[in-house]
Structure 1
Amino acid sequence: MIAKEFEDFLLNYTEHYLIPSKDLAIVVDTHNMDHVLLLITSNGYSRIPVISKEKIYCGTVSISDIMSYQADNNLAAWELSQTDVAVAVNDKVETILADAPLTEIMHKLVDNPFLPVLDSDKHFMGIITRKSILKAVNALLHDFTEDYDITPKEKHDN
């Protein structure tokens, strides 16, 4: 459990945690693989979110997901280029709901560089990155005493 004072401090940074979907490279599940590969490689991303036309989160996709699909299905480059990305989506990536507690976010970010954020209807809202949380923790470590006093508890002799 996170100490209440630390959680309150970190929650002041919540607007900095979420990178909204409008600011991200995202693909629709009906986009062809050529488009997706171009987007991933030209932006240097390792993995990008995939949504439906209704903005429902489908999963994420990476170059290795696409190459694995191509190899598993013995597809020539021209066949792959005409294939919808939906078939290569990794739907096993951890996600969180928009109202997830900070503790859950922190636990999931230990093993994930980012977490897709969904509303209760599974619409994709954006991502929270490990980097954004680390920036808030950095602020906590440097600025906490501007708003809070820290006093050690007295030790009781038994």
Structure 2
Amino acid sequence: MNDKKIKELMIPSEKVAHVNLNNPLEHALLVLIKSGYSAIPVVDSDFKLKGLISMTLILDSILGIERIETEKLENKIVKDVIKDEAPSIREDESFIRGLKLSIDHPFLCVVNHEGVFTGILTRRAILKYINRYIHETNRESVRPM
């Protein structure tokens, strides 16, 4: 279990909903709604991880005193409301490190040694791997010798 690398369990970035720092906030909102996720990674033009954007952050940024000011969506970009700290892990790190970090986060952003976003590691992928490992270990321990 210790020798399993994050890269083997992650969902590649090509299959992950994400937005660019300079995308309009309205675009980010649409991506979040269409994907069904509450938060997604934000990258820069070099595809380096810059943070997370969420429905909550977007709604907070357009919330007025008496109403939701949707017209603000036209004038803001993702960079204006991003949470610039994203839970992340390098793709060459150990499974155990990913397990520890996933306790507090539903997913971890995965980056390479240059900080380029390469995918996500979900808590679901970790639990599936642990489940498979436990079942295989149990099967081996009950085999006759």
TM bucket (normalised to shorter chain) is 0.7 to 0.9
Task: Judge conservation of contact 2:5–2:94 (CA < 8 Å) in 1.
Answer: no
Q: Of 5, 9, 12, which aligns to 1:20?
A: 12
Q: Is 1:44 matched with 2:36?
A: yes
Q: Give the aligned residue type for 2:125.
A: S
For 1:90-105, what aligned pairs fall within 5 Å after superposition?
90-105=83-98
Distance 1:19 1:41 in 2: 20
Q: Check 1:31–1:75 CA distance in 2 against 1; reply closer, same or farther (3 A cut).
A: farther
Task: Judge conservation of contact 1:13–1:136 (CA < 8 Å) in 2.
Answer: no
Residue 136 (structure 1) aligns with: 129
Q: Give the aligned residue type for 2:70.
A: A
Q: Check 1:71–1:100 CA distance in 2 against 1; reply closer, same or farther (3 A cut).
A: same
Q: Check 1:14–1:120 CA distance in 2 against 1; reply closer, same or farther (3 A cut).
A: closer
Count of matched residue positions in the alignment of Structure 1 and Structure 2: 140
Task: Judge conservation of contact 2:6–2:93 (CA < 8 Å) in 1.
Answer: no
Identity %: 28
Structure 2 residue ranges without an equivalent (≥5): none
Residue 117 (structure 2) aligns with: 124
Larger radius of gyration: 1
Residue 106 (structure 2) aligns with: 113
For 1:11-90, what aligned pairs fall within 5 Å after superposition?
11=4, 15=8, 17-71=9-63, 76-90=69-83
Structure 1 runs of 4+ with >3 Å offset = none
For 1:1-12, what aligned pairs fall within 5 Å after superposition?
6-8=1-3, 11=4
Distance 1:75 1:84 in 2: 17
After TM superposition, give the deviation of residue 12 of structure 1 in Å.
8.2
Larger RCO, structure (CA 8 Å, separation 6 or more): 2
3-state DSSP of counterpart to 2:50: strand
After TM superposition, give the deviation of residue 69 of structure 1 in Å.
2.2
Structure 1 residue ranges without an equivalent (≥5): 1-5, 151-158
Q: Check 1:25–1:66 CA distance in 2 against 1; reply closer, same or farther (3 A cut).
A: same
TM-score, normalization by structure 2: 0.85
Distance 1:12 1:119 in 2: 12
TM-score, normalization by structure 1: 0.79
Residue 3 (structure 1) aligns with: none
Task: Judge conservation of contact 2:107–2:120 (CA < 8 Å) in 1.
Answer: yes
